[in-house]
Chain A
Amino acid sequence: MSLYNNHTGSRAGKTARNAVIVVLLLLFALATLFPIYFMVMSSFGDPVEAGAVSYSLWPSSFTLDSYKFFFDYSEYSYRWILNSTIVAGAVTITNVFFATMAGYAFSKLRFKGRGLLFSILLAAMMIPYQVTQVPLYILIVNTFQIENSYSALILPGLVTVYNIFLAKQFMSSIPTEIMESAKVEGCSQLQIFFRIIMPLSKTVMAVIAILTFMDSWNTFFWPFLVTNTMDMQTIQVGLKNFRFANTTYFSPMMAGATISAVPMFILFFSLQRYFLEGVTVGAVKG
C-alpha cells in the first residue's frame, strides 16, 4: 500500500513506530529552531555589555529595554523598517504584474523568437551574481548616478527571471480553450489577460508576491552597496551597522535581529500554504 509496511494490521506496532519517528523529528526540529528561540528569548534581556552576561537557555529577566536600546542607536532606525517596506512593497507589485504578463506571453501566446527569448532569460539563472555585481554597481552609481535612492534599490529587481519562470510554469496548466472561446466572444488580449488569466492565476501571483517580498526584505548586499547614508538604509543594512558599532551589546543585537526577522515569521505563519507551494512550483519538472 505504501512505503511503510502496515505491521499486518497491528495498531500498537504502528503507533509505536510513529512515536519513535515523532521523537526523532522533534529532536532535529529542536536543533533547527534553537537559534531562533535563542534570538527571541535573549532579546528580552537587559541591555548590558556582554562581559556581564552569562548566556542561559531560559529567560532570567523580561524587559523591552534592549529594543529601546536598538531603536535609540540611530534616529533613523524606524526609517530602516519603513525603507525595507517601501522597497519590498514596490518590487513585489512590479514583479507580480510584469512576471504574470511575461509568463502569460511565454506560455500562451505565439510570437517569433518566443522559445529563443525564453531560453536566453533562463540562461541568466546559471550566471552567478558575482558576474553582474560590479557592472551593475558601475551602471547605477557612475552611469545613472542614482546612488543612495529608492530607484537604486528598486530598479534592478523590477522583475526577475525566476518569477517569470514560476508564472509560465503555472499558466501552462490553464487550458488554452478558455482563451480561444473568449476570443470568439470578441475579447481583446488585454481583456483576456485582466479578466480571465489574472483571476485564474491568483495562486501563482500570491506565491510570487510572497517570495519576492521575503527576498527583498532579507536582501543585504545590494542595499549595502548602493546606500551610504543611514536614512536610506534598509533594516538589514542597519542591523549590520548596529552590530559593528556595538560589538559587545548582546541583548540589543538580538533585539535588532528579532525586529528584522519577525515580520517574515508573521508573514510565513499567516500565508504558509503559499510559501510552501512556491518551493515546489519551481522545483517539480523544471
Chain B
Amino acid sequence: MAQPAQSAKKRKIKGDGVWGYAFIAVALIVYAMFTAYPVLSAFIISFQEYKPLGSTYIGFDNYTATLKDDLFWKSIKNTLVYTVLTVPVALLLSFLVAIMILPLRKKLQAVFKAVYYLPVVASGVALSLVWLWIFDPMPGGIFNQFIGWFGAHNQNWLGASATAMFSLVIMAWLSSHGASIIIYLAALLGIDDSYYEAADLDGASFLQKLWHIVIPSLKPTTLFLLVTAVIGSFQVFQNAYLMTGGGPDHATTMVGLLIFDNAFKYFEFGKAAAQSLILALIIALVSLFQFKFLGKDVDY
C-alpha cells in the first residue's frame, strides 16, 4: 500500500478504532472459541492418551505409532490416488466445458451454468444414496447395464477392492465440476478483447489463441482451483464413509476417514489428533509446493 494513501485514510477515519473492535467482537469470540481454541487443544491432545477423567501425557507416542502404522500410509496412498485421479480430470472437464459455453448466447450460457451447478446444491448424503444404487452389483444395476451396452461384464463396483476406488472417482468426475465451470467462465469473459484482436491480425488459429492467450491468462484461476481442489480432496471422506465405509479391505480408506474412525469409532482422540495434524502439515506442504512450482509467473 502506498504511504500517502495510508496516512490520509488514517486521518479521515480517526477515532473509529473502538468501533472497529466492536464490529468484529462477535466474530473474534466465535473464532477464538470454536477455531483457535480447538486448534491449540488438538496439539495438546495429540501428546496425550485421552481419557474423559484425566488424560495422561505420553510424549510423541501418538506420532510415532502413526508413522509406523501401515494403515495410515495406505490411507495416505488412497487419498493421493483419489486426488490424482479426480482433480486434474475435473479441472480439464471444467475448462473444456467453459470454453464450449463461451460462444453461446447469454440465455443459453445461463441454462448450462445452472444445469452443471445443480449437483453441487444437492445434499451429499442424498447423492451418495443415489450412487449407491447406480453402482448396484446386480446385472440390473444401472451402471452394469450401461457398461453392458459396450459388452463389458458385471462388476461388483463398490464391493470389490479392485473397483471400489474407481467407483468413487467416477462419481467425483460427474458431480464436482459445477463451481469450477462457473469460475473458469468468469475468468474467460474477463480476458481483454484486444489480445484476440492482435492475434486475429496475425492470422492466429483457434488453437493458437487457446494456447498463447487463453491458457496463460487463466493460469491464476487454474492455480486457485487446483490448490483449493487439492485441499478439499485431501479432506474427502463423506462419500467413502457413507458408501463403502472405507472397505473393502481398506481399499477406500481415505486419511480423513481413518481419522474419523480413530476418533469416533475407537475413541482414540490422541491418535486422531496427531494424525489430523500430520494431515494439516501435508496439506500445507502440498499447497506451498504448488504455489512455488506452478505459480512462478503468476502475479496477483
Residues B134 and A35 in contact, CB atoms below 8 Å apart:
yes
Instruction: Tell whether, in the assembled complex, residue B224 and residue A286 are in contact, meaning their CB atoms are under 8 Å apart.
Output: yes
CA separation between A108 and B20, bound complex, in Å?
9
B 100-121 binary contact with A (CB < 8 Å = 1; else 0): 1111100010101111111101
The listed residue (A22, A180, A264) touching B123 by CB distance below 8 A is A264
Known: A180-B12, A286-B224. A135 touches B196 (CB 8 A): no
Of A112, A126, A159, A280, which is within 8 A of B186 by CB? A280
Within 8 Å CB of B231, what residues of A?
126, 128
Q: Does B85 belong to the interface (CB within 8 Å)?
A: no
Complex CA distance for A193 and B157, rounded to whole angstroms? 56
Most buried by B among A35, A129, A138, A258: A35
Q: Is A178 at the interface (CB under 8 A from chain B)?
A: no
Contacts of B28 in A (CB 8 A): 117
Pairwise interchain contact A189-B19, C-beta atoms closer than 8 A: yes
* A225 and B264 in contact, given A129-B235, A214-B121 (Cβ under 8 angstroms): yes
Question: Which of B45, B125, B225 has the most A CB atoms < 10 Å from its CB?
Answer: B125
The complex places the Cα of A134 from the Cα of B225 at a distance, in Å, of 28
Question: Is B70 close to A, CB under 8 A?
Answer: no
- The yes or no answer to A208 lying at the interface (CB within 8 A) is no
Interface size counted on chain A using CB atoms at 8 A? 102
Give residues 168-214 of A contacting B (CB, 8 Å).
Answer: 176, 179-180, 183, 189, 193, 214
Most buried by B among A28, A32, A183, A254: A32
Query: Taking the complex as formed, is A61 at the interface, i.e. its CB lies under 8 A from any CB of chain B?
Result: no
Contacts of B112 in A (CB 8 A): 25, 29
Given contacts A32-B175, A128-B235, contact A101 B26 (CB under 8 A): yes
Is B126 part of the contact surface with A, judged by Cβ < 8 Å? yes
Indicate whether A133 sits within 8 Å of B263 (C-beta atoms), given known contacts A138-B41, A265-B121: yes
| B277 in the interface (beta carbon within 8 A) | yes
Is there contact, CB below 8 Å, between B101 and A25? yes
Chain B residue at minimum C-beta to C-beta distance from A104: B23
How close is B97's CB to chain A, nearest CB, in angstroms? 6
- Check if B246 is an interface residue, CB within 8 A of chain A: no
Q: Write out the residue numbers on chain A whose beta carbons fall within 8 Å of the beta carbon of B35.
A: 124, 127, 132, 161
Within 8 A of A (CB), among B13-27: 13-14, 16-21, 23-24, 26-27
Which of B93, B108, B122, B187 is A36 in contact with, Cβ under 8 Å?
B122
A96: CB under 8 A from chain B? Answer: no
Q: Kindly provide the distance from the CB of B92 to the nearest chain A CB, expressed in whole angstroms.
A: 12
* A–B complex contacts, Cβ < 8 Å, 13 sampled: A5-B200, A21-B103, A36-B119, A36-B130, A55-B141, A105-B20, A110-B10, A132-B39, A176-B12, A180-B12, A189-B19, A239-B126, A283-B225
